[in-house]
A and B are shown apart, each in its own frame.
Chain A
Amino acid sequence: MTAEPLMRMRLRVEQDIFVVRQLGREVARTVGLESQDQTRMATALSEVGRVLLSLGRPAEVTFTVEAIGVPTLHVAMTHPARGEESRLAGQLQQVGRLVDTMEVDNGESGTVVRMARRLPAGAPRLTPERMDEIHAELARHVPGTPLDELAVQNQQLISALDEVRAQRDDLARLNAELEETNRGVMALYNQLSQELEETNRGVVALYAELDEKSAQLAAASEAKSRFLANVSHELRAPVTAIIGLGRLLTDSGSDELTTEQRRQVDLIRGSATDLLTLVNGLLDLAKAEAGRIEPTWSEVDLKAVFGQLRGTLRPLATRPEVDFTVEEPGLPTLRSDEVLLAQVLRNLLTNALKFTEAGSVRLSVRRIDDDAEFVVADTGYGIPPELQERIFEEFYQVPGSKPVSGKGTGLGLPYARRLAGILGGALRVDSTPGEGSTFTLRLPLAS
């Protein structure tokens, strides 16, 4: 009786009696009971099943086969009701005649009806292999009643339907949201497109205007350069003539002039010389602007350049209150155009000397990374910040500023900046009004 149960099932409703008797017959056939005994076993199951079911509450049916000793099919039907064994025994007396043994007793889990039927001698031996076969064969029978199956399937179907419905609702909601978002996006998109288009039109118009303006500017600049070049050239000849004639008048070989006349001729010569300087400056600037100045690259000996500047500018620094210093160069050579470089520095120094009443004017150079940095520092009037860029415009002079000596043309700084550009560098100014200005020229070491 300790063997593994062949089959188990629960007896709950009337239909289960039908199922259990069919199952009983199948079990009996499978283990090898004869046809007559199959019918007996099935009928006995049916009868006991009815009696147990009439007590109410489900009963448990277990089929077991005993392979040791005399092979026997055992059926145990357990009902949870207790204390019914004597009454049941009486009711089932007749049924007992269908099987070999039948007992009703009180088991652990309630009243148990045990029935046993020996297998006939001719039945297949219950070897382990045969047992496996029996198990496999019985497993094909659907356990549980068809009604249970149906109920379970129904339940599954209903839950599946619910789930599907819920998903559909979710989807519908999601769709609605998406649609709304879409509409919003479309509206935004349209609005943006419209705005973009408008902006585009504006930009295109602006571009056209800019093109036009730049063309006009280029033409104007060209015209100015041409005008300056031509006019300066035409002006230089007469001025040179005036200077030459003035020199002739005062020459020792010509007729003696009165003192008054000599003084007037000297004034004429001085004015003409000033005019010539101005015309030359204009001419240089026009040439630089027209791009006609080509630097001649060579190794520039800075010591020599500085020496020359010191020599030529010393006479200009006539005031004892101003300390004019050209420092020893911080680097020996530089690849540049010597003439143009000297021109730039001379312009800067001349400028500084002109506007410095007292203090110092210094020129120095040092190496910074791959550049040479020339610094011309003075302690002059200084330039207000808002005018620091304007001083590089032609003929611009800081209002109210008065040169200490000589007079400015307003062309020196623009020309210096032009040349710095031509030499591949840059010129800038730092200044504090009342304290002085520092002009910094940065040039690359190699061209």
Chain B
Amino acid sequence: MERVPVLKIGDILLVSIQIDMEDQVALQLQEDLAERIVATGVHGVIIDISALDIVDSFVGRTLATIASVSRVLDAETVVVGMRPAVAITLVELGLSLPGIRTALNVELGIAMLGSREDDGEPEDDEPDPVVVTES
């Protein structure tokens, strides 16, 4: 089975999803990521989904779970590079991605995580810009 690579860059784990994930791959990624966070002790995770053009409820839920697990392990998750079509579809589908922060690209995502470290408790101050709530 294919695996999504997890790269460590400084204090951040970078996950770039380049394929349409099967459910098993998504679940595997969730496990891998948790393990790497514990092993490396990083405080930030960036998930790049710019190559992903289908995000259905399962993938959305998986991303949310990853974010929650990471937070429990003291790491902030930022999902970057979501395509407009994906965003629209998510909204139409009525899916919210609770607890997930988003940025337009990797660069902005890194900046966002950097600012969090500077600020100490950024999640309270910065409201999630793309969080979708159940409509």
Binding site for B on A (CB under 8 A): 14-15, 17-18, 21-22, 25, 35-36, 38-40, 42-43, 46-47, 50, 94-95, 97-98
B22 to chain A: closest residue by CB? A18
Please, which residues of chain A bring their CB within 8 A of the CB of B86?
39
A39 to chain B: closest residue by CB? B85
B19 to chain A, nearest CB (A): 10
B68 in contact (CB, < 8 A)? no
Please, which residues of chain A bring their CB within 8 A of the CB of B93?
43, 47, 94-95, 97-98
Which parts of B74-89 form the interface with A (CB within 8 Å)? 83-86, 88-89
CA distance A97 to B91 in the complex (A): 10
Binding site for A on B (CB under 8 A): 20-24, 53-58, 83-86, 88-89, 92-94
B89 & A18 in contact (Cβ 8 Å cutoff): no
A-B pairs with beta carbons under 8 A, tally? 63
Excluding A38-B53, A50-B57, A94-B94, 20 further A-B contacts by CB distance (< 8 Å) are A18-B21, A18-B23, A21-B56, A25-B53, A25-B54, A36-B84, A39-B53, A39-B83, A40-B88, A40-B92, A42-B53, A43-B55, A46-B57, A46-B58, A47-B56, A50-B58, A97-B92, A97-B93, A98-B89, A98-B93
B86 to chain A: closest residue by CB? A39
CA distance A181 to B128 in the complex (A): 89
A24 to chain B: closest residue by CB? B54
Please, which residues of chain A bring their CB within 8 A of the CB of B57?
46-47, 50
B94 to chain A: closest residue by CB? A94
Q: Which 4 A-B pairs have the closest CB atoms?
A: A46-B56, A39-B85, A94-B94, A18-B22
Secondary structure dominating the interface of B: helix
Please, which residues of chain A bring their CB within 8 A of the CB of B83?
39
CA distance A14 to B58 in the complex (A): 11
CA distance A278 to B122 in the complex (A): 164
B10 to chain A, nearest CB (A): 33
A14 & B54 in contact (Cβ 8 Å cutoff): no
Contact check: which of A15, A35, A50, A97 meets B56 at CB < 8 Å? Answer: A50
B56 to chain A, nearest CB (A): 4
B90 to chain A: closest residue by CB? A43
A46 to chain B: closest residue by CB? B56
A43 & B23 in contact (Cβ 8 Å cutoff): no
Contact check: which of A22, A40, A50 meets B89 at CB < 8 Å? Answer: A40
Quick one: which of B22, B57, B89 has the most chain A CB within 10 A?
B89
A27 to chain B, nearest CB (A): 13
CA distance A38 to B58 in the complex (A): 18
A30 to chain B, nearest CB (A): 15
Please, which residues of chain B bring their CB within 8 A of the CB of A40?
85, 88-89, 92
A26 to chain B, nearest CB (A): 11
Quick one: which of B22, B24, B54, B86 has the most chain A CB within 10 A?
B54
Please, which residues of chain A bring their CB within 8 A of the CB of B21?
18
CA distance A43 to B57 in the complex (A): 8
Please, which residues of chain A bring their CB within 8 A of the CB of B24?
14-15
B90 to chain A, nearest CB (A): 8
A39 to chain B, nearest CB (A): 4
Selected A-B contacts with CB under 8 Å, 7 pairs: A21-B20, A39-B86, A40-B88, A47-B93, A50-B57, A94-B94, A97-B92
B103 to chain A, nearest CB (A): 20
CA distance A97 to B53 in the complex (A): 18
B4 to chain A, nearest CB (A): 14
B23 & A42 in contact (Cβ 8 Å cutoff): no
Please, which residues of chain B bring their CB within 8 A of the CB of A25?
53-54
Please, which residues of chain B bring their CB within 8 A of the CB of A18?
20-23
Please, which residues of chain A bring their CB within 8 A of the CB of B92?
40, 94, 97-98
A96 to chain B, nearest CB (A): 10
B60 to chain A: closest residue by CB? A43
A43 & B54 in contact (Cβ 8 Å cutoff): yes
A232 to chain B, nearest CB (A): 126
CA distance A36 to B89 in the complex (A): 8
CA distance A21 to B21 in the complex (A): 11
Please, which residues of chain A bring their CB within 8 A of the CB of B20?
18, 21-22
A444 to chain B, nearest CB (A): 108
B94 to chain A, nearest CB (A): 4
CA distance A15 to B84 in the complex (A): 26
B94 & A97 in contact (Cβ 8 Å cutoff): yes
A36 & B58 in contact (Cβ 8 Å cutoff): no
CA distance A157 to B79 in the complex (A): 45
A36 & B94 in contact (Cβ 8 Å cutoff): no
A95 to chain B: closest residue by CB? B93
A36 & B56 in contact (Cβ 8 Å cutoff): no
B134 to chain A: closest residue by CB? A94
A49 to chain B: closest residue by CB? B56
